[in-house]
């Protein structure tokens, strides 16, 4: 056997890295495993990878020497400086046309910088979203590669072999140039934040509003997973609700303070940067921040009053309405995510494959859902989704009204309905806002029927006729 035996190398032997290596091995690819702490390489080869074709390396030089050309090196390491440190060490060991793949949750602007920097050195860089968690990595993740398009033909056979399949189609395609892959993964993670918050609010309404027990709630989520709400998160929520140990239901003993790693926050910041109203993800990030104020909330619960109303209606009809409210809100969240991707694509000249992205998100990824025609200006006006929204909006109003009357917070469900009502309103009160801006700051306004002509009014008779320069805010 020649020295150059491996099809691809993978750096980073945490659970995601190990599972991805074993997945590649299952599909006939020889993988060279490397970790900065080389004891992990030895342990992996002697345990999880025992009996496979996986080879190990105990230095980066050894790892690179075991690779066939063009050399393909994938990293699954912590985002940020660790990625740059490995790139700096790898570049002197690689040749023209070799490929470095970052499979971590890197910020898309870092991926843009790395792609351009490495292209000048003759190295092809790929920033790829990897979704599906531990199980996805092992048996079929959703992969979202972007970066230098010259790398795609060389990684496509591996990526499309190991990824999840939906109706026989691989849940992986080239997303776009430079930071496009990591941008799409960031939006995916942001939508996941929204989905999790929405499910949490539904659980809160069922538990504290409808007074359902864990078994009842678990059964409802299990049923929803057989219908239009079917998704990985709905599925696992059903399992979590019914999980018991020797002390009873575990969920009820878990501290109600949510952690976050930053990708939801990045999505919300990007939404502000690009001027796109991604309200549901923003509210979901803020809800996690509010949950972190546990001690303050406990104190406030003793001082601040809420309604004493109790629900005494029909539970079955209300859970059906809750299902519809959740469905409407999920559609809104996806629509907002696609709005953000479209705007970023316009700014960066990314030729995003929206149909491919919709397919990528169907199988293997945590926000597993279905989509029909994503090339419209907004998913909400797709015939399928418009019909679904119209059939769910009354139920959503009923649920939010119930939550308000019971004093239960529903930031994500409420903002979904607010966005729905805003988007379907032909004339919003922003005319008053523009008048106010012109009144106090001479910022000008446009008259209906005279668009693109900015005028200023001396509202009081005391101000001048000089207007401020126009700008978009």
431 belongs to an annotated ligand binding site? no
CA 337, 338, 343, 344 dihedral sign is: positive
Contacts of 263 (CB under 8 A, 6+ apart): 105, 185, 186, 189, 190, 193
418 belongs to an annotated ligand binding site? no
78 belongs to an annotated ligand binding site? yes
Task: Identify whether the C-beta of residue 188 lies closer than 8 Å to the C-beta of residue 338.
Answer: no
Q: How many CA atoms are closer than 13 Å to the CA of 77, on its beta-carbon side?
A: 22
193 belongs to an annotated ligand binding site? yes
Catalytic residue among 192, 265, 283, 324: 192
60 belongs to an annotated ligand binding site? no
Contacts of 97 (CB under 8 A, 6+ apart): 69, 70, 122, 124, 150
443 belongs to an annotated ligand binding site? yes
The C-alpha atoms of residue 117 and residue 127 are separated, in whole angstroms, by 13
Give the angle 94-100-102 at the CA atoms, nearest 5°.
Answer: 150
36 belongs to an annotated ligand binding site? yes
Phi-psi region at 313: left, alpha or beta (left = phi > 0; alpha = psi -120 to 50): beta
Neighbour-count burial for 315-344, b at 16+ CB within 10 Å, e otherwise: beebbebbbbbbbbbbbbbbbbbbbbbbbb
Task: Identify whether the C-beta of residue 232 lies closer than 8 Å to the C-beta of residue 367.
Answer: yes
Catalytic residue among 40, 185, 323, 324: 185
Neighbour-count burial for 112-127, b at 16+ CB within 10 Å, e otherwise: bebbeebeeeebbbbb
Phi then psi for residue 230, to 5 deg, are -55, 125
Q: Please indicate whether residue 247 is annotated as part of the active site.
A: no
17 belongs to an annotated ligand binding site? yes
323 belongs to an annotated ligand binding site? no
The C-alpha atoms of residue 287 and residue 471 are separated, in whole angstroms, by 32
Per DSSP, the residues of 199-266 read HHHHHHIIIIIS---HHHHHHHHHHHTTTTT--HHHHHHHHHHH-EETTEESGGGS-S-----SHHHH
SS3 300: helix
The C-alpha atoms of residue 348 and residue 333 are separated, in whole angstroms, by 23
133 belongs to an annotated ligand binding site? yes
Other CB atoms within 10 A of residue 459 CB: 13
Q: Both ends of the chain: CA-CA distance in Å?
A: 63
Strand partners, 131: 142
437 belongs to an annotated ligand binding site? yes
SS3 331: helix
126 belongs to an annotated ligand binding site? no
73 belongs to an annotated ligand binding site? no
Task: Identify whether the C-beta of residue 35 lies closer than 8 Å to the C-beta of residue 77.
Answer: no
Q: Please indicate whether residue 46 is annotated as part of the active site.
A: no
77 belongs to an annotated ligand binding site? yes
45 belongs to an annotated ligand binding site? no
105 belongs to an annotated ligand binding site? yes
268 belongs to an annotated ligand binding site? no
397 belongs to an annotated ligand binding site? no
| Binding annotation | 12-17, 35-37, 77-79, 105, 131-133, 188-189, 193, 261, 288, 437, 443
Catalytically active residues are 185, 192
| Binding annotation for NADP(+) | 12-17, 35-37, 77-79, 105
| Binding annotation for substrate | 105, 131-133, 188-189, 193, 261, 288, 437, 443
């Amino acid at each position: 056997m020649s020295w150059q035996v491996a099809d691809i190398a993978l750096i980073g032997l945490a659970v995601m890295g190990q599972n991805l290596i074993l997945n590649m091995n299952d599909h006939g690819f020889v993988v060279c495993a490397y970790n900065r702490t080389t004891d992990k390489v030895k342990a992996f080869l002697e345990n999880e990878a025992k009996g496979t074709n996986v080879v190990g390396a105990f230095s980066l030089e050894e790892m690179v020497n075991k690779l066939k050309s063009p050399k393909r090196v994938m990293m699954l390491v912590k985002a940020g400086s660790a990625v740059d440190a490995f790139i700096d060490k790898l570049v002197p060991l690689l040749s023209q046309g070799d490929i470095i793949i970052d499979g971590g949750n890197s910020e898309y602007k870092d991926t843009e910088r790395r792609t351009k920097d490495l292209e000048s050195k003759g190295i092809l860089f790929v920033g790829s979203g990897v979704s599906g968690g531990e199980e996805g990595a092992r048996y079929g993740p959703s992969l979202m590669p972007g970066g230098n398009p010259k790398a795609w033909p060389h990684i496509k056979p591996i990526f499309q072999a190991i990824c999840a399949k939906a109706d026989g189609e691989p849940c992986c395609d080239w997303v776009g140039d430079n930071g496009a892959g990591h941008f799409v993964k960031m939006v995916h993670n942001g939508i996941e934040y929204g989905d999790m918050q929405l499910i949490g609010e539904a659980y809160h309404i069922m538990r504290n509003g409808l007074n359902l027990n864990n078994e009842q709630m678990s059964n409802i989520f299990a049923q929803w997973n057989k219908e239009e709400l079917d998704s990985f998160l709905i599925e696992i929520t059903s399992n979590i609700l019914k999980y018991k140990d020797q002390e009873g239901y575990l969920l009820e003993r878990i501290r109600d303070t949510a952690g976050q790693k930053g990708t939801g926050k990045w999505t919300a910041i990007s939404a502000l940067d690009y001027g796109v109203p991604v309200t549901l993800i923003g509210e979901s990030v803020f809800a996690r921040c509010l949950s972190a104020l546990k001690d303050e909330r406990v104190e406030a619960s003793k001082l601040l009053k809420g309604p004493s109303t109790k629900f005494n209606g029909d539970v079955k009809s209300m859970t059906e309405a809750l299902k519809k409210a959740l469905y409407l809100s999920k559609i809104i969240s996806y629509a907002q995510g696609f709005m953000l991707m479209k705007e970023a694509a316009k700014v960066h000249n990314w030729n995003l494959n929206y149909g491919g992205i919709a397919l990528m998100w169907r199988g293997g990824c945590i926000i597993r859902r279905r989509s029909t025609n994503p090339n419209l200006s907004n998913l909400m006006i797709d015939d399928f989704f418009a019909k679904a929204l119209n059939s769910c909006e009354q139920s959503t109003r009923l649920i939010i009204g119930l939550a308000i009357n019971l004093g239960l917070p529903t930031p994500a469900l409420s903002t979904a309905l607010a966005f729905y009502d805003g988007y379907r309103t032909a004339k919003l009160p922003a005319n008053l806002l523009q008048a106010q801006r012109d009144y106090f700051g001479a910022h000008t306004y446009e008259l209906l029927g005279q668009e693109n002509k900015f005028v200023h009014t001396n509202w009081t008779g005391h101000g001048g006729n000089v207007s401020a320069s126009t700008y978009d805010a």
